[in-house]
């Protein structure tokens, strides 16, 4: 039976498809689906057992959408969803990720040029046909071509953003885990290594009844095509174009199997070579010496038998982790449990925030945080920002709430906008009145690299700035980030003492893991934040931590792993 996560995914897909049908992301129907998704996200009760009347009690869910949710829960789909998927199939929907191609433009090039997929679009660009259409021109055509290149959509083996793949994988794992005879389930591959994009979803199931698992996958409502079905492996393609491979193994082989199917090719080759050098054989069934099985049940046992520390999944890329593990010198990686506060919180004071100050702080208290920074948008973000007068009133509300919650330090903060020349919101004296400031790029994404770098360096020199937020401003698979000289920015961070944010929003994961690793090497302090706009988004901390782990970030490099007293002293040191 579909879970809340599945219903949310269904509603967001309806919003995306309806955006094309209505030719506007701001249409009433699109906003209705988005509001309903937000409502379900914030609902702790299982919506799959709710009646239509109970569903309409959820904020943002009207009767029409409630009826569609019931239809989806009962059948695994909905008539309107099937109609829209038929009109806008996955290859065409992929084009919606490209900046510069709004719904009206996409339908125009489909109607006039017969563009149905990325290959058609690339062909039209090569023939310079886009520039001949009304409202486009040569400059628009060149921008689209550049966006395709920067988003990595030009190759044959195109990949799916993690924000699309991870919820689907976790939902499938939950459903597979409920099958009788299943003992363990784990998604593997690049998704478990927490790469930004994945080629497909690999799931390994430990079960005594492989036939039941394979039958479930073949009949799964998310699949539109079964491309392979066997006794222990079945592959399907979902309506969104993602291939899902599910393997069934004996429970005694589960550890060896998920180790084998998680590691990168280079990591696995290095492990097998290490086994061979000891006269052993390592494969997905276990570690063998001759015909004798040595270990196979857990990953920890396999690594130990190979003379290695356990290597966490995000590190399994053969970038030095095996050598470090052989010396027992892997870093003490940051964990979710080590995080003591969240330093990028929005409330409904921001135009795009959906939870109140009291709700956001209450959620932080529930997670056991020692401190939290309320960082609503500065005035220069025209739609969502707050004036100085509004911020002063906000400050008073934060101080009053803090007096009622002595167990947590609530910092009066702001997410400042970095202008095209590096200017920040408000005047310098007012900025220094904040306890904590995140400085972020929200506009002017097309400036040359030198100007982008200079604007950031200028902002970092301002003493009010505590942390550089979502470094490039990217949305994975949808919007390329700004192009900067990363080494120059890291050097400036090191000199100024400004921290680098690891933004846990799945669509961002910014700074990227490779930048995190360079930052750690450069001695830059990290802050792992959720950039939450609703209490349901606090789960993003896990994603930020996994990104930091992938960047080899130790606990000692993360500022919000510090105890409250030490953190507050560190946060105040740059503002003194």
Q: Burial, 531: exposed, middle or buried (Cβ in 10 Å; 0-12, 13-18, 19+)?
A: buried
494 beta partners:
none
User: What pLDDT shows up at residue 429?
Assistant: 96
Give the chain's count of helices (H) and strands (E).
24, 17
pTM of the model: 0.88
Tokens read off for 481: 């980030």
**Which of the 8 DSSP states describes residue 544?**
H
Pick the range with the lowest mean pLDDT from 180-184, 540-544, 571-575.
571-575
pLDDT at 155: 55
The fraction of the chain above a pLDDT of 70, given in percent, is 99
What does residue 451 show for φ and ψ, rounded to 5 degrees? -70, -35
Structure tokens at 144: 């689209």
Backbone angles phi, psi at 243, to 5 degrees: -85, 135
**Is the link from the previous residue into 286 a cis peptide, with omega within 30 of 0?**
no
CA separation for the pair 201, 499 (Å, rounded): 34
Q: Which two tokens stand for residue 340?
A: 């003591």
d(CA 103, CA 92): 11
Neighbouring residues of 54: CB distance < 8 A, sequence distance ≥ 6 = none
Locate 414 and state its tokens.
């702001």
501 has pLDDT over 70: yes
pLDDT of residue 157: 59
Condensed to tens digits (0 to 9), the pLDDT of residues 368-391 reads 999 999 999 999 887 788 899 999
> What does the pLDDT read at residue 146?
85
**What H or E segment, with its residue span, contains residue 305?**
helix 299-305
The residue that leads in pLDDT, 491 or 5, is 491
What band does 224 get if pLDDT is binned at 50, 70 and 90? confident
Q: What is the pLDDT of residue 380?
A: 87
Question: Would the pLDDT of 355 be above 70?
Answer: yes
pLDDT tens-digit map of 529-559: 999 999 999 999 999 999 999 999 999 999 9
**Count of other CB atoms within 10 angstroms of residue 279:** 8
The rounded distance, in Å, linking the Cα atoms of 443 and 332 is 37
Average pLDDT over residues 34-50: 88
In this structure, the number of other CB atoms found within 10 A of the CB of residue 254 comes to: 22
Whole-angstrom distance, CA of residue 250 vs CA of residue 254: 7
Q: What is the 3-state secondary structure (H, E, C) of 424-459?
A: CCCCHHHHCCCCEEEEECCCCCCCCHHHHHHHHHHH
The alpha carbon torsion through 529, 531, 537, 540 (nearest 10 deg) reads -30
């Amino acid at each position: 039976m579909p879970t809340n996560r599945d219903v949310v995914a269904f509603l967001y897909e309806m919003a995306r498809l309806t955006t094309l049908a209505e030719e506007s992301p701001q249409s009433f129907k699109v906003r209705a689906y988005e509001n309903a998704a937000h409502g379900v996200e914030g609902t702790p009760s299982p919506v799959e057992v709710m009646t239509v009347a109970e569903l309409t009690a959820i904020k943002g869910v009207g009767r029409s959408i409630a009826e569609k949710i019931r239809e989806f829960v009962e059948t695994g789909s909905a008539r309107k969803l099937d109609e829209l998927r038929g009109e806008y199939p996955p290859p065409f929907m992929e084009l919606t990720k490209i900046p510069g191609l709004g719904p009206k433009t996409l339908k125009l090039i489909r109607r006039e040029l017969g563009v149905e997929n990325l290959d058609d679009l690339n062909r039209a660009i090569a023939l310079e046909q886009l520039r001949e259409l009304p409202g486009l021109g040569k400059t628009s055509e060149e921008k689209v071509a550049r966006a395709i290149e920067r988003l990595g959509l030009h190759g044959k083996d195109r990949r799916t953003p993690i924000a699309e793949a991870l919820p689907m994988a976790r939902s499938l794992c939950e459903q597979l885990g409920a099958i009788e005879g299943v003992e363990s389930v784990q998604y593997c591959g690049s998704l478990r290594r927490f790469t930004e994009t994945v080629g497909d979803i690999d799931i390994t199931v430990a079960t005594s009844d492989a036939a039941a698992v394979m039958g479930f996958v073949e009949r799964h409502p998310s699949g539109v095509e079964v491309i392979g079905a066997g006794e222990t492996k079945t592959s399907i393609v979902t309506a969104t174009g993602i291939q899902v491979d599910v393997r069934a193994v004996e429970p005694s082989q589960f550890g060896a199997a998920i180790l084998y199917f998680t590691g990168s090719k280079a990591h696995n080759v290095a492990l097998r070579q290490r086994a061979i050098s000891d006269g052993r054989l390592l494969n997905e069934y276990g570690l063998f010496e001759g015909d004798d099985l040595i270990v196979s049940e857990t990953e920890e046992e396999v690594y130990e038998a190979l003379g290695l520390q356990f290597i966490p999944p995000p590190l399994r890329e053969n970038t030095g982790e095996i050598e470090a593990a052989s010396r027992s010198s892997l870093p003490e990686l940051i964990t979710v449990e080590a995080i003591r506060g969240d330093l990028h919180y929005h409330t409904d004071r921001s135009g795009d925030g959906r939870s109140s100050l009291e709700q956001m702080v209450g959620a932080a208290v529930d997670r056991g945080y020692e401190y939290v920074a309320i960082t609503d948008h500065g005035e220069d973000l025209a739609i969502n920002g707050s004036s100085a007068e509004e911020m002063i009133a906000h400050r008073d509300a934060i101080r009053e709430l803090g007096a009622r919650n002595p167990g947590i330090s609530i910092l009066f903060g702001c997410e400042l906008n970095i202008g095209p020349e590096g200017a920040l919101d408000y005047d310098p004296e007012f900025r220094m009145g904040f306890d904590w400031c995140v400085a972020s790029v929200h506009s002017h994404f097309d400036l040359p690299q030198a100007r982008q770098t200079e604007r950031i360096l200028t902002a970092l020199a301002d003493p009010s700035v505590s942390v550089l937020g979502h470094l490039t401003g990217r949305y994975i698979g949808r919007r390329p980030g700004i192009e900067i000289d990363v080494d120059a920015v890291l050097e400036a961070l090191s000199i100024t003492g400004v921290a680098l944010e690891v933004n846990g929003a799945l669509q961002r994961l910014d700074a990227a893991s490779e930048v995190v690793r360079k930052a750690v090497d450069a001695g830059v302090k990290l802050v792992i934040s959720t950039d939450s706009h609703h209490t349901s988004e606090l789960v993003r901390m896990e994603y930020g931590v996994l990104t930091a782990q992938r960047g080899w970030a130790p606990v000692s490099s993360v500022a919000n792993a510090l105890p409250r007293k030490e953190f507050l002293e560190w946060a105040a040191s740059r503002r003194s």
